[in-house]
A and B are shown apart, each in its own frame.
Chain A
Amino acid sequence: MPDMSVNLCGVKLKNPVIAASGTFGYGMEFNEFYPVSRLGGVACKGTTLKERQGNPPPRIVETDGGILNSVGLQNPGVDRFISVYLPWLKKQGTAVIANIAGNTVEEYCEMAEKLSGTDVDIIELNISCPNVKHGGVSFGTSCESVAEVTSQVKLRSKKPVMVKLTPNVTSIGDIAKAAEDAGADALSLINTITGMRIDIKTRRPILRNNTGGLSGPAVFPVAVRMVREVYKRVNIPVVGMGGISKWEDAAEMMIAGACAVQVGTANFHDPFACVKIIEGLEEFAKSLGLSSITELTGTLKEW
């Protein structure tokens, strides 16, 4: 049997499949389908310093091969994340990735400090949420602000810091390099691509927020290309996501350079998507005679 475990900046994941932030809550609901301990990890819903109500509905619209969402970081705030949700998830026996989003650098730092005193395994810096007016994506779009927030959080965090990149930029390679130089322990990408759908009868956007983030199979090729570009620019681990819905997609993402993957929107279609991807990857590794799934990472033979 191939060894399915991967090492993500010092944290051992039992397999390379992580549930993506915002699509899986804190794991409690999907644990009613299968034990979430099957997963390599769970990236928790994006947490802010204070509770947030998020955007008014409708917050989701389907599009060919994907969805747009405009949830807008509805969450109970970092303190309740730590006291209510984290203890439960940690007990399940899967790596816990806290996903944090701030309005200011100081807010990111305060959250990182609070989380440093907990059982969280990794902190994922969400500098790429397209659905909030301040902060979020704006931190992720310039090399200077990415470097600033990353380096400040690194000073205050005792946990490994994984920076989650937005695809809504001109050069994702430059942003990735800026994060690495500022001390990021790992990178994850991609967050959603900003989009819009319009009701032609009312001539109004379907989402109350007007715009939303595109995810699902439609973004997959963009995500693969960006993961590849980033993999070539940095020496820290890259976690790939965006449109992965079957094990072949996960394998493709790993060949492009990802050491682990996150699966989001696919969970909505098939609640067992993550489990099927883990099983498919294991079969694939076996059929190739790999001793470890890590042997797949970055093995792309470019023309």
Chain B
Amino acid sequence: MRYTQETGVIIEKREIAPGIFDVAVSLPVIAKAAHAGQFVNIICGDYLLRRPISICGFDPEKGTLRMVFEIRGKGTKWLAERETGDTLDVVGPLGHGFSLVDNTKKAVIIGGGIGTPPLLPIAKFYGGNATVITGFRTASAAILQEDFEAAGAKTILCTDDGSAGFHGFTTQALEKHLGNNECDIIYTCGPKVMMKGVARLAEARGIACQVSMEERMGCGVGACLCCVCGTKGKDGDAQFTRVCLNGPVFDSAEVDWDA
């Protein structure tokens, strides 16, 4: 049985930026099986569809899963109203995650907004060989900088309004970084336009690039075909591929950004 449905107790909850919450949930079975880039599907109150949330961290020993989420609508609002001691109905771990092979390689990790949390385990894997470029609307919305630093990674913070760090987009910071530094592999998660830009920069330099896609989901396990994104087939023709099963992480070259 690859998938588990587990009821987990929230053991820690913090609001790390306005409207953004960091929770640790006791989910021993899922935490043991989890891999970087995978996600879980959570029941949010009376809403029919589960909400997909990425795995930001997992501790197989303690049996805990860490998730960071932002209030975006009614489901995530419900989730934000849960307190320590409350339980969550969680299915996971789901999807195909990031591939982490050789931590002596130089990795550049680009996160946009709430796309940043699933990238933390990658930084932990590469440690000092990772450079993490993250972008947020404004300084107060910036998250996880200390966590990336604690992992040993170099961090480059970007804000749209210039209130902290580099005033501009992550793609601009990435372009600058690639001009002066070695890079063997790129990982990215965030808004589609940002990932498309990152993928273009990577492809132009022949650097492998893994992107984590987002799409509305039904079953979350690969059975209903509701969550597809456009990909390029073997012979280059357009096809639709399940984000929940074949993704959320894809090789950027596979993705058809204009589908």
Contacts and interface: CB of A to CB of B under 8 A. Distances in A.
A66 to B, nearest CB: 7
Given A23-B219, A33-B1, A57 B48 contact: no
Given A29-B221, A32-B2, A271-B91, A56 B239 contact: no
A29 B246 CA distance: 12
Contact of A59 (B3, B47, B226, B259): B226
Given A62-B47, A267-B223, A54 B240 contact: yes
Interface stretch (A67-75, A222-230, A246-254): A67-75
A97 B128 CA distance: 55
B215 interface: yes
A88 interface: no
A136 interface: no
Q: What bracket does the count of chain A residues touching chain B fall in?
A: 35 or more
Given A53-B238, A217-B48, A271-B5, A67 B218 contact: yes
Interface in B200-259: 215-230, 238-240, 245, 259
Given A71-B225, A268-B219, A29 B245 contact: yes
Contacts of B49: 60, 62, 67, 268-269
Identify whether the interface residues of A are mostly helix, strand, loop, or mixed: loop
A268 B1 contact: no
Contacts of A23: 218-219, 223-224
Contacts of A53: 238-240
A267 B1 CA distance: 17
Nearest to A22: B224
B48 A271 contact: no
Nearest to A52: B240
Contacts of A59: 216, 225-228
Contacts of B229: 57
B187 to A, nearest CB: 23
Nearest to B229: A57
A74 B240 contact: yes
A56 B238 CA distance: 11
Nearest to B73: A62
A56 B3 contact: no
A57 B215 contact: yes
Interface of B: 1-3, 5, 43, 47-50, 91, 215-230, 238-240, 245, 259
Question: Top 4 closest A-B pairs, CB basis?
Answer: A25-B223, A60-B226, A32-B2, A29-B221
